[in-house]
Amino acid sequence: MLLKADRLTKSFAGTLAVDHVSFALAPGETLALIGHSGCGKTTTLKMLNRLIEPDEGTVTLGGVRAHDMPGHEWRRRIGFVIQNAGLFPHKTVAENVLVTPKLLGWETARQQAKLEALLDMVGLPARDYAGRYPGELSGGQRQRVGLARALAGEPDIVLMDEPFAALDPLTKDGLIADIARMREELGFAAVLVTHDFSEALRLADRIAVMDGGQIVQTGTANELITAPATPAVEDLLAAPRQMAATVGKAFREAGA
C-alpha cells in the first residue's frame, strides 16, 4: 500500500473531530472521503499531510511512518489542493505553482518547464496566466492553479479538499475530466474530499463515507447504493437518487 492511515484520532477542545479513522490507498488509486459538513474530512486530510498532528494513530507512506521522514519530503510526496484553492494572494500564478520546486532548489529551466507543462494541463497557458494574481482569476481558474501547485513537486499522492466547491456544473465537469486525464498521464493516487456523491462517483475507485468523525462504510459506488450500511449513507444517496429520477423522467418525457 502507498498510504496507510491507522486509527487516526483528533479532538479539538475535548470534542472528537476524527475518531479512529483507518484506510489504505494503493498506488494510482482514488479514494473519495464523503460526508456532511463538520464530519471531519478536512481534519483527516490535514493529518495525512502532517499539517495537524494526530492525538492517536499513525500514517505511513510507502511503509515509512510519518516521524521517520522529514516533513518537507513528506509534503513533497503528498500534494494538497486546499479547500477554497488557498492561493497566496500577493504571489502570481507562476509563484504560487512553483512554491515547492523553489523549496526543492530546482534549476530555473526545470521550474519553467514544469510551470508551462502544468499550466497547459490545467488549461491556463503560461503566456496568458503565469503573471496574473489570484484576484485576476475566476473561481474555477483559481481551483485549477491550486491543482497545478499541488502537482508541481511530482507527488505520489494528491489530497483534494472540495476542489469543485462553488463551481458551476460546466466548469466542474471540465475540471473533473481534466483531473481524470492528468491522473492517467501522471499516475498519482488521490484522496478526494467532497460532500457530493456524483463527484465521488465520477472520480473515485472507492468511496469512504464519514459521519461524526468516523468512517461508517467504505466500498465502490455500487456497493454503497445496493447495501448502505447506516442511515448516514442512505442520506447521502437520497439527493442524487432524487436528482437521477427527476432528470431521467424529464428526458423520457422529451423522448430523448
Ligand X SMILES: Nc1ncnc2c1ncn2[C@@H]1O[C@H](COP(=O)(O)OP(=O)(O)OP(=O)(O)O)[C@@H](O)[C@H]1O
Beta carbon nearer to ligand X, 38 or 131: 38
Binding status of residue 42 toward Mg ion by CB under 5 A: yes
**Of ligand X, Mg ion, none, which one does residue 37 interact with (CB within 5 to 8 Å by kind)?**
ligand X
Beta carbon nearer to ligand X, 32 or 152: 32
Nearest to 218 by CA among 209, 229, 227: 209
Cα dihedral 236, 177, 119, 139, rounded to 10, equals: -40
Beta carbon nearer to Mg ion, 42 or 96: 42
Rounded least distance, CB 88 to ligand X, Å: 21
What are 111's three cell numbers?
Answer: 521550474
Beta carbon nearer to Mg ion, 36 or 91: 36
Binding status of residue 49 toward Mg ion by CB under 5 A: no
HEC string for 175-212: HHHHHHHHHHHHCCEEEEEECCHHHHHHHCCEEEEEEC
Stretch that binds Mg ion, among 40-48, 68-76, 134-142, 194-202 (CB under 5 A): 40-48
Binding status of residue 100 toward Mg ion by CB under 5 A: no
Strand intervals (E) in the chain: 3-12, 15-25, 30-34, 56-61, 64-65, 78-81, 157-161, 189-194, 206-211, 214-219
**Of Mg ion, ligand X, none, which one does residue 39 interact with (CB within 5 to 8 Å by kind)?**
ligand X
Rounded-to-integer distance, Cα 77 and Cα 97, Å = 15
Rounded least distance, CB 45 to Mg ion, Å: 8
Rounded least distance, CB 191 to ligand X, Å: 12
Binding status of residue 44 toward Mg ion by CB under 5 A: no
Residue 109 CB-density burial (10 A; 0-12 exposed, 13-18 middle, 19+ buried): exposed
Rounded least distance, CB 54 to Mg ion, Å: 17
User: Within 13 Å, how many C-alpha atoms sit on residue 226's CB side?
Assistant: 5
Rounded least distance, CB 19 to ligand X, Å: 10
Rounded least distance, CB 39 to Mg ion, Å: 9
What are 251's three cell numbers?
Answer: 428526458
Beta carbon nearer to Mg ion, 42 or 217: 42
Report the interface residues with Mg ion, using CB under 5 A.
42
